[in-house]
Amino acid sequence: MSVNQGIKPITTEINEQGHLCIGGCDLVELAEKYDTPLYIYDEDTIRSMCHEYKKAFAKYEKSNFMFASKAFMTKALCAILKEEGFGLDTVSGGEMYTAYSAGFDMSHVLLNGNNKSIDELEMALDYNIGRYSVDNFLELALLDNLAKSKNKVVDIFLRITPGIECHTHEYIQTGHLDSKFGFDLTQLDEAIDLIKEQYNNLNLVGLHAHIGSQIFETQVYYDEVGVILKEIRRIKEVHNIHLEEINLGGGLGITYTEADMPPSVETIADVIIRSIDVHCKEYNLEHPTIYLEPGRSIVGTAGVTIYTIGSSKQVPKGRRYVAVDGGMADNPRPSMYQAKYTAVIANKANEECDEEVTIAGRYCESGDILIRDIKLPHPEEGDILCVFNTGAYGYSMSSNYNRTLRPAAVLVKNAQSDIIIKRETYEDLVSDDEIPQRLSSNIMIES
Ligand SMILES: *Cc1c(COP(=O)(O)O)cnc(C)c1O
């Protein structure tokens, strides 16, 4: 079974006290040591998933893996990915800066995004990142201009909208025609003419597409490869340019609940490689170098969040709401995408799940519900709730809503736990606040 086909991190077990353990660490002890809410990442699960990608694509020599940093980005993760031989797909100055400060090899960094700023493009040029995925006409002009001013020639992909619909949430579909991302196929010729004739500081190496996220189908990847290779053949005929690289984006799904049935990495690899074989033969093309940008599938299953259970409310003849000390600010996915999760009580891991409750967050929004109608072993104040599969798009989408503090994150391995992101403090919260001079005479400022 692939890591993404299981709900829990691969090192999950229950110890003699009936407590849930991950990476050899008792979650109840982690809650005491680091406080809650707490993000916990299992290093073995992250590495296993990296190995799965490398193994599944080992038969295709020219494969590159660029972890999609937007799923979760922090310096410790950069260090792990560097050891695993992964590159990084970034979408902002902040993500590039994190990679740079972690000592990441910037030639293995790619920059994506539908509205990159001039500052971000300049930063990318100064860091000498390896690839740009250019999204639109404005960016072509800007990047060429900036590269020229710095005397550089940069390797670019053109991001295209392949016109493939996958059955995932509307907000995370990206490959369909009516999308804000990338060039429509009908606009490619104009873009390529501009690169050939005017933009001498851009070197077009390939095409990039990303069809969506939390994908369970395999056919969409087969079709995506087909659309891209057909376009590459057409470009060869029309423009006499042979593009040697294709970037297929990310999107492989993970198992949030038993209802989710994502394919294994191996299955996806076989489909992609078969489609390349079939279409290269059909179009008489050489096998391209491929790039993949997995995000969720690398870190999603590896991460869990633990919370402490506080108040609860029994609606007369209705639901029992059980509130935890976190919610939509540390995990906005349930309120944003109606995302579903599973959870257990870490200190009652062996007990029977005999009570149906709804897990409410602590934020001032009725929509702040983490899990609806889940069976748990009689949840009570002080219990430690462990929500699975929060490793991707949890911390990275977190906020300070209600002026709460972003939780800490720890990395666990072989019964050792290390802080990889410190818990925010109240001082951190106000550290960027300023009171204009004309207002400050009215209030007492304690020093
Ligand atoms: C979000 C994104 C990814 C990663 O998607 P996952 O579903 O997390 O694997 C990869 N490439 C691009 C361009 C993206 O926007």
- 362, HSE (Cβ side, Cα atoms, 13 Å): 18
pLDDT of 212: 94
251 lines ligand 1 (CB under 6 A): yes
293 lines ligand 1 (CB under 6 A): yes
pLDDT of 287: 98
Euclidean distance between the first and final Cα of the chain, in Å? 58
**In this structure, are residues 373 and 367 in contact, taking their beta carbons and an 8 Å threshold?**
no
Ligand 1, pocket-test mutation among 46, 89, 110, 333, most atoms within 8 A of CB: 89
Pairing of strands 320-324, 289-292: unpaired
Q: How confident is the model at residue 134 (pLDDT cuts 50, 70, 90)?
A: very high
Distance (angstroms) between ligand 1 centre and the Cα of 387 equals 23
**Which one is catalytic: 21, 280, 364, 386?**
364
Q: What is the mean pLDDT of residues 303-311?
A: 98
Q: What is the mean pLDDT of residues 286-296?
A: 98
Distance (angstroms) between ligand 1 centre and the Cα of 348 equals 36
Note the pLDDT tens digit of each residue in 345-400: 999 999 999 999 999 999 999 999 999 999 999 999 999 999 999 999 999 999 99
Residue whose CA lies nearest to ligand 1 atom number 3: 250
353 classed as catalytic: no
The predicted model scores a pTM of 0.96
Residue 413 backbone zone (phi > 0: left; psi -120 to 50: alpha; other: beta)? beta
Q: How confident is the model at residue 173 (pLDDT cuts 50, 70, 90)?
A: low
Distance (angstroms) between ligand 1 centre and the Cα of 294 equals 6
pLDDT of 165: 79
Model confidence at 174: pLDDT above 90: no
pLDDT of 178: 79
Residues of the chain with pLDDT > 90, as a percent, come to 93
Question: Higher confidence at residue 166 or residue 305?
Answer: 305
- Coil, helix or strand at residue 396: helix
Distance (angstroms) between ligand 1 centre and the Cα of 136 equals 18
70 lines ligand 1 (CB under 6 A): yes
Peptide bond into 294 cis (omega under 30): no
Q: What is the mean pLDDT of residues 212-222?
A: 96
What is the rounded average pLDDT for all residues in the chain?
96
Q: What is the mean pLDDT of residues 3-9?
A: 97
Ligand 1, pocket-test mutation among 3, 52, 70, 395, most atoms within 8 A of CB: 70
Output the DSSP codes for 87-143. Answer: EEEE-SHHHHHHHHHTT--GGGEEE--SS--HHHHHHHHHHT-SEEEE-SHHHHHHH
Residue whose CA lies nearest to ligand 1 atom number 15: 210
Distance (angstroms) between ligand 1 centre and the Cα of 311 equals 37
Model confidence at 170: pLDDT above 90: no
pLDDT of 445: 60
Q: How confident is the model at residue 171 (pLDDT cuts 50, 70, 90)?
A: low
